[in-house]
Structures are given as C-alpha cells and as structure tokens.
Amino acid sequence: MSAAPLAPLRLGIAGLGTVGIGVVKIVQRHADLLAARSGRPVVITAVSARDKTKNRDADLSNYAWEIDPVALATRDDVDVFIEVMGGHEGPARDATEAALKAGKDVVTANKALLAHHGQELAELAEGLGRTIRFEAAVAGGIPVIKALTEGLAGNAIRRVMGVMNGTCNYILTRMETAGLPYDTVFEEARQLGYLEADPNLDVGGIDAGHKLSILAAIAFGTKVSFDTVLLEGIGRISIDDIRRAGDMGYKIKLLGVAQMTGRGLEQRMTPCLVPEGSPLGQLQGGTNMVVIEGDSVGQIVLRGAGAGEGPTASAVMGDVMDLARGLRLPTFGQPASALADPVPAAVSAPAPYYLRLQLMDKPGALAKVATVLGEAGVSISRMRQYGHADASAPVLIVTHKTTPDAIDVAIAALPATHVVEGSPVALRIEEV
C-alpha cells in the first residue's frame, strides 16, 4: 500500500521587490520540478507589500494579499514565512518574530536582521521548535551557508574569507579597467542602481561586515558579533593605488577575514591586497567569492553571483526545498544555547604590507623613511620610486611580514621626518 501524498508546503512572501518576485517566478515556472525534488507540491498562498497596484512583472492574482506583513506571518494557510523586505528593525523583525510565535518556519534574505538580532531570533525559533533559514543572506546564489553547516560539518574551520559585496568589487575592478577615479565610478554605480539607498552600507563595508559576522558565527560556534567586526570601506582607495598595486603584482579587494586565534575571534572587513594570480585576485565585476579553510578539507573556493533576482531567489528556494523535504537544522548549525560568547581579538597576525608615500625631493629622504621603518621593526622587501616633475614623487614599498602595531608606529612617526607629504596609505597583503 503506497503512502498518502504529502500536503503542499504553503509559502507566504513578505516583500515583492527584486528577490520576492524572483521567488514567485521560480515557484510558477518550476512547480513540477519542485514537487518532484521535494516529494510534495510547493505553492504560494499569500503575499505582502505596501502597494498592490504596482506593476511587478508577475501574475499575483491567485494569491491572497496582506498590506501588513505581520498579518501575513500569522495566516493559517502559510507554513513558511519568506521575509525579503530588508531592514533590521520594524516590519521585518516584527513579522519574523510573529511568524515564529505562530508556528511558522522562516526563510530570510535579510543579513542585517541576523547580524543585529540573530542570536535572540535563533533562541526564539529553537525554543518553539521552529527554524530560520538564510542562505540568501550571504553571497547571493553561492550556497556558502549550506557548505558550512552541512558539507563541511566534519571540519574544524581555520579561516573564512572572501569578497562579499559585489558593488564594491564592481567599483574597484571598473576603476582598474577603465582608469577612472573612485568618485566617477561611484556615481556610475549609483546611476546603474547598484548602490543601496544608503550607499555607505555598500562602500563603507557594512553590508559585507554583516555577512562576515554571520559566517563567523557558523564557522566558529559563536554568537553573531557584528559590533566587533573591524570595518573600513573603499572610499580612500585611489586609482593610483590600484595602478601601483598592479605594478607590484597585486589587486585591491574589499576582503572579509574571520579566524579564531588563541587570543579570540578576529573579524575584519577592510581593503587588502591579494596576489593577482590568486582566485580572489582574478575576481571581476559584481561577482562574490568565499574561501573556506578546514582542517580536513583544506581550502575550498566558492564563486558566483552575489546579488540579483535569479541568484538570490535561487538561494531562498534552496532553503524552502530543504524545509519541504523535512530537513531541519539549528539556525547557526548548532543549538543557539550552545553558541559561545565571542572574545573579540584585534588583528595581530604578521603579514606583508603595501605602503604608498608621497616623498619630497630632498637629500636623504629615502634614508629617513627607511630609518623610521627599521626603528618600528618594519623591513622592506621591495621598493619602487616613480619619476616626477613636481617637488614630490610617489614611492611604493612592500614590506616583509610585520605586525599591524609596527605599521601603525611607523606611520605615526613619518611626519616627524619632514619628507613625507600628506597621509601615507597602508594596506595589508593577505596571503591566499
């Protein structure tokens, strides 16, 4: 006697922007495929957005409509609440909490919500026997959450790093290929709609920092700790830095790195140099890349579209399909109650550094700089001075491995030499 067919999994989608409509299109286009792969129909029963009259390039006529996402989250005909509205307070948080309390599972693409409230939401969900899935919150269509929680679950993770904001990578690679200054490419990205309403979320590293803090929690079994991520955006990177770094065999990327050390958890999202021949160095345009290092697997590289309707909706549907199949995991890969309070650690691991100085045309100027670096414990690996017609010239230095503290001491002492104009630029060179 064959088993009775499973009831449909009923979805409620809050937010009908790019991602929400992408989810609608997948469910409509692949209904038979989804049912075959999950063993049950996957259907949309209700949706929520503020403006019902807006043209959204999808047929929504068969779905119930709620203006209030909290009302959607508590409907009896919704099994899984899909939150793709954005924002870490207000409707997104209220509706997510309401859905969990109403016995629904939650799928979200909201990295800010998880970065700021992930621990309390995970505790709420697990206390109620529910789950929160969020593959789409980090690196768009790249299945990095599933890789960490499932495929690499047998590894002690040593390091997680990557380029996690496509807008910043687009700006940096566009500056390089077109030879354009930062301000020009920033405006171009704004005109193309690549930037968030608050551009600092992108170019200030905040969006990518949210993602890094989520990956670190899963990788190292700690509570999400976005407030301890060292953040520096790309606003001070000049076209000269990009060209000069290229001359030395490097590319500049906004790179996130998280690792557990004997002193605690290091998390940083800062501009770094990477070798131009490395996977990260070859990454172009709006693409994302995440590199994971485990004690058994070694290094794996995940690359793909970090945003957009199709890739992000694909990630949402990956979570939906797991729920349809009955796969349930703790929110961050292990019970929220077992996650440790992270001990934040400043970056102290030695690394080479790239230094750019504007050196005055004075006798002994280079010797004075070398003396300051040496007294701070910084030794020079390579140096290049460019020709000039002015009273000063750019000088590039690549150091041997040194500590961030030593670099800070050296830069603080350079003004006293009276041979350096302006503020030096120092960027860490990450070995990948």
Helix axis angle for 31-38 and 309-325, nearest 10°, is 40
Q: Is 353 within 8 Å of 429 (Cβ atoms)?
A: yes
Distance of CA 50 to the CA centre of its chain: 28
Q: Strand ranges (DSSP E) for 154-263? A: 157-163, 230-231, 250-261
Distance in angstroms (rounded) separating the CA atoms of residues 223 and 358: 43
3-state secondary structure of 164: coil
Distance in angstroms (rounded) separating the CA atoms of residues 313 and 25: 9
Distance in angstroms (rounded) separating the CA atoms of residues 71 and 192: 35
**Token couple for 15:** 């937010």
Distance in angstroms (rounded) separating the CA atoms of residues 294 and 302: 14
Q: Is 211 within 8 Å of 286 (Cβ atoms)?
A: no
- How many other CB atoms are found less than 10 A from the CB of residue 6? 14
How far is residue 29 from each of residues 25, 124, 239, 300, measured CA to CA in Å? 6, 34, 44, 32
Cβ burial, residue 53 (10 Å; 0-12/13-18/19+): exposed
As annotated, the active-site residues are 211
DSSP secondary structure, 23-44, as one string: HHHHHHHTHHHHHHHHSS-EEE
Residue for token pair 């399909």:
321
CA pseudo-torsion sign 432, 138, 29, 132 = positive
Distance of CA 415 to the CA centre of its chain: 36
Q: Judging by DSSP bridges, how do beta strands 380-385 and 392-399 pair with one another? A: antiparallel
